[in-house]
Structure 1
Amino acid sequence: MSTDSSEGNRQLYLEMGIRCPLGYNPCGQAYPCIVAWKRCDGRADCTDGRDEEDCACLPIPVDLNLGGLLAMLPNQLGQTTFEEILNSSAVELLNSSTSHAENRHPEFREFASAVIFPRCVLSEESNTSCSSSQHGDNSTSCMGTQMLPCRSWCEEVLHMADDPVKNLFPTCDLFPSPPHACWNPEPETNSDEVCYHGNGMNYRGTWSKTTSGADCVEWSAAQAGFYPTEYPWANLKNNYCRNPTGQERPFCLVEDGSQEECDVIPCNKAVCLDMGPPDHGSRSPAKRFYIAGENVTYTCDEGYTLDSIHTSRASCFGDGIWQYDKPSCSDLDACLANPCDAQATCTDNLPPALDATCTCNTGYTGWSC
């Protein structure tokens, strides 16, 4: 593969003697560093325009098993060549993500790889000519646009990281956010709904109700538009549940301006969706979904009883399947207790009445017929 572009960058930076902090790339002597996400974004930010030069997409070494993606160097860590990266602790960070999986965000490795190897998106005209050389060794220079991880993704992933790991990355305020182009994985789903990882700071679903059943209000309308102004990176669209402030899970604002948690489905847990109450009955607790291992108890309204084939309690199993179907409630037939004399006809009274009416047959009268 060709490394002319990355070697050129390295030589240029060595000649200028510029070392930038994490999250920045060298620019020029008059204006030494710019935020890394501004490089190769189609707009010159350096006074000499160097940030839009050598915007080449290079194939990531196949032995890293990153799916044949293209990268653009330097990265946010200041590394300018693949050789420099492979000889650094950055690759160890990728490999260690598997052994510490239980303590890290499930997308940690993908996030780390997108920082170490900034994604490079080919222009439409370059895509055809370059695709054949991604794993080859020809010297075709494929020009593209740099795509660093979105800030909301950074906030969610690094929220679950310990301080030594966080310190290896730029702070999240140095990552781009829409409308600037940035890299974000496709939202994951659980039970056919967009779910959330970690604390949900990168949740991008469309759920807009709280756990109490209240409707969310638009972020731009509540609290004088404070949240979209203060957290422009947090995908605060419409009235969808989000987590710009790093709470335990996604929340939204309700009519009086207060925060309420949303009952958004987590990605890392098997859930059973609510079957609803039976006709003429109720269930407890009443929730939109139940985590595997939780139970729901069904009761019937006064005057009704559970059908004999059903149980009053059902458990959510680990595969997200209910132990039993939702039960049915039937009218409690008071006539089954034979409250009337032999010469009378029994008529069950409608619920919620629990008794029956006895009517004497033709030719019989009186209380006892």
Structure 2
Amino acid sequence: MNLPGSNSDFHTEASLSETPSSHLFFLETGNITRVSEFLLLGLSEEPELQPLILGLFLSMYLITVLGNLLIILAVSSDPHLHTPMYFFLSNLSFVDICFTSTTIPKMLVNIQTQSKGITYESCITQMYLFTVFGTLDVFLLTVMAYDRFVAICHPLHYMVIMHPQLCGLLVLVSWIMCVLNSLLHSLMVVSLSFCTDLEIPHYFCELNQMIQLACSDNFLNNLVMYLAAVLVGGGSLAGILYSYFKIVSSIRAMSSSQGKYKAFSTCASHLSVVSSFYRTSLGVYLSSAVTHSSQSSAAASVMYTVVTPMLNPFIYSLRNKDIKGALKRFFGMTDLKRTLMLRLKKCP
């Protein structure tokens, strides 16, 4: 009689080199059996919906990348935008590009090749990068709220407080904290063992899905995950709310209506992005906790993983005259250079 967890069980499981029905593979190293592939079920398993999903997500991904690249080009090419606010905005655009690039390309490839598989190493890497860039979004939105707080509540000391060294340090610290946070979660997931049920009801390897999929004790993983979510998400939200509480107090104290409008207009875009990100992300996790439906959670997560990064450039460009002016000057300079080059070529 074999006891559960004995070596004979491992050898029995490892002898199943491939299960034809689900194409799940296992590798054996000593007394440890490790899975080598997961299956991403995606948003839908209906064959007729796959071309529609492919076209829709490809379009959204291209719009996201192009829109955020334009923000980065506008900020980097216009000296008038070399300020702390636009420095943080360009960093947010870069992070949004990376955020969507960790999940959407793999999803598109799987749909195109009609494959659901993702290797163990690729899944852990995807989960790590997704956590890094998702957390960076939260930190940068918090830093941008602090920047607006200093600009409106301490306008005379703004350039003294928000000097380039502090801006660079804030971004660097955000990167370090996000990398360490994601590394902790990834190392804890690597220590988990997985059984034969390796189907992930999502279109990417999400941290929560990976933890729930494990057949070993995941209590510590859940504890660390929720604790980090409270500290990072709750702490950042508290910082943003405090900043805007002070901002609203300062705006109300202004005597000039024009000054009030100008102060509010500098915060409108950031407020829109913050509310969109937190509303969709909190909605996803609260709804999943109530309904316990992984497929509905995967569909709802599209809002903060794809839609919000895609809308950010539109929010900032449509409500910001500086960005629109920089883009017009950038494309105007490009057209001028092209015209000059053509004329030079025509000259004998």
TM-score (norm 2): 0.23
Structure having greater relative contact order (Cα 8 Å, sep ≥ 6): 2
Larger strand percent: 1
Larger helix percent: 2
